[in-house]
Amino acid sequence: MPPQPTATQLRKGVLELAILTLLAEEESYGAELVDRLSHHPGLAAPAGTVYPLLTRLTRAKALTTRWQESPVGPPRKYYSLTREGHELRTTLTEDWRLLVDAMTTLLPDPA
């Protein structure tokens, strides 16, 4: 089931952190990132969302790229974190944890 519009807006705000976190684990090419995101409920995003974000993060010097021949099909562009990318991930993680803590105290228990 595709995310609802309100969930989509919330998800857009965390996709950058999710991508940086996945790339902190290991470098990936775009289609692989789309697939890796799809394994996490609520974070699945189409290529049309992921690739512009990768481009923006690369222009911001948070990511670096390299091309590698593929065993099938055209060469693949691999993305990895730069020092700035690791710093951005740390900052976004701290911000995320503050927001989660604040919302946890604000929202009532679901029971």
For residue 68, the domain's CATH number is 1.10.10.10
The radius of gyration of the chain from alpha carbons, rounded to an integer in Å, stands at: 16
Of the pLDDT bands very low, low, confident and very high (cuts 50, 70, 90), residue 3 is: low
Question: Does residue 26 have a pLDDT over 60?
Answer: yes
Q: Does residue 109 lie within any of the structural domains?
A: no
Per the structure, the count of domains in the chain is: 1
Give the strands of the sheet with 28-29, arranged side by side: 28-29, 76-81, 63-68
Q: Does residue 111 lie within any of the structural domains?
A: no
Query: Are the C-beta atoms of residues 107 and 79 closer than 8 Å to each other?
Result: no
Question: Mean pLDDT, the chain, as a whole number?
Answer: 92
pLDDT tens per residue across span 32-84: 999 999 999 889 999 999 999 999 999 999 999 999 999 999 999 999 999 99
pLDDT of residue 10: 75
Confidence (pTM) = 0.87
Range of the domain at 62: 5-96
Q: Does residue 106 lie within any of the structural domains?
A: no
